[in-house]
Amino acid sequence: MSNTKRLLTIFVILAITIVISSCNEQEELEIEDDLLTKSKILEVLEEEYELEEIEAKSPVDELKEESNMIDASYQFDDLPGELFIYIFESIEERNEHFSHEFSYTRPLEEEQGVDYSAYNAQNAAIVYRPLDQENVLGQTAQLSEIILYQLNDINETSYKGEGENWQVELNASYYDYELETEDENDIFGLLTYEIYYKGDNHDEVIDMMLYFPHSDGQGKAGGGRGAGEPFLEKGEPVKLDFSGKTLPDGLGNDQTEVIIEWEEDSEQLEEVITLGKE
């Protein structure tokens, strides 16, 4: 057999093995085609990491007895930690066992440090347990970004609008999964607002708050700058970042709104600005 034919045969065998493995996993859990399987998750993670499957005690070991799922554990060649993957039949079932938030950290009970960091990805949860407590955030920053953007169904959208005093730009990345068994969806987003002051009295603006209306909770959320001191630089935007499951009303539609409150020359002012989708 020639080398070309031998290589072609090996490739075909590997392809068939991968397909059979994926099908067996889907049949075992009855996973829908548009959701995640272990092979899909590993395909994404192994583009960035060298992973070796190991036998390790899960930090959430009780899940094995409480739910129908597939689980696997791995160690990294380039990170001092262990990775645990939990795959459920549906987003709803994953949501029963892991928080609505995209990510959260469980602290160690008897000493300072991190027990594990958990990340949600559709019908899967991915847990990282650090074996070295130094710079845990640095260890997980890239992993978190990969899981959010490559293993979730992310929507990205931009808006822009202006009023008499302020111009606002919004860039949003978010997922919004409808849950058949819940009244509210599984939602998480990253929002960046860039706010430009259009006036000439930069030194007179000492406080500014931006709010966005939302139907969850108290009706609006926000953050600001100033704390009683001038903070604006002419021509430069003020950037405000938000993350979490509270998103602006109208996000994804043609329009959304922001409310800006500020103090200028000892006067309290407010402006409502409609943002149009770019």
More reliable by pLDDT, 55 or 100: 55
More reliable by pLDDT, 31 or 238: 238
70-84, 102-116, 231-245, range with the lowest pLDDT: 102-116
Pairwise CA distance, residues 58 & 257, whole Å: 44
- Note the pLDDT tens digit of each residue in 187-205: 999 999 999 999 988 989 9
Pairwise CA distance, residues 117 & 249, whole Å: 30
Answer positive or negative: Cα dihedral of 221, 226, 228, 234: negative
State the alpha helices, DSSP H only, in 30-103. Answer: 38-45, 63-66, 91-97
Question: Is the backbone of residue 148 left (phi > 0), alpha (psi -120 to 50) or beta?
Answer: alpha
Pairwise CA distance, residues 133 & 111, whole Å: 11
Say whether pLDDT at 219 is over 80. no
From the list 193, 188, 146, the residue with the least C-alpha distance to 169 is 193
Say whether pLDDT at 277 is over 70. yes
For residue 106, the model assigns a pLDDT of: 85
For residue 4, the model assigns a pLDDT of: 55
Mean pLDDT of 149-168: 97
Mean pLDDT (the chain) is 85
The whole-angstrom distance between residue 125's C-alpha and the CA centroid of its chain comes to: 12
Say whether pLDDT at 104 is over 70. yes
Pairwise CA distance, residues 136 & 129, whole Å: 9
For residue 67, the model assigns a pLDDT of: 64
Within 8 A by CB and 6+ apart from 51, the residues are 42, 45, 74, 75, 76, 77, 83
Confidence class for position 64, pLDDT limits 50, 70, 90: low
More reliable by pLDDT, 274 or 134: 274
Please state the pTM of the whole predicted model. Answer: 0.82
Confidence class for position 215, pLDDT limits 50, 70, 90: confident
CATH 2.60.40 maps onto the chain at: 155-277
More reliable by pLDDT, 25 or 109: 109
DSSP conformation class of 204? G
Contact, 270 vs 261, CB < 8 A?
A: yes
- Note the pLDDT tens digit of each residue in 242-271: 999 889 999 999 999 999 999 998 899 999
Query: In terms of CATH architecture, what is 155-277?
Result: Sandwich (2.60)
Pairwise CA distance, residues 61 & 38, whole Å: 18
For residue 23, the model assigns a pLDDT of: 45
For residue 24, the model assigns a pLDDT of: 46
For residue 218, the model assigns a pLDDT of: 54
The whole-angstrom distance between residue 111's C-alpha and the CA centroid of its chain comes to: 28
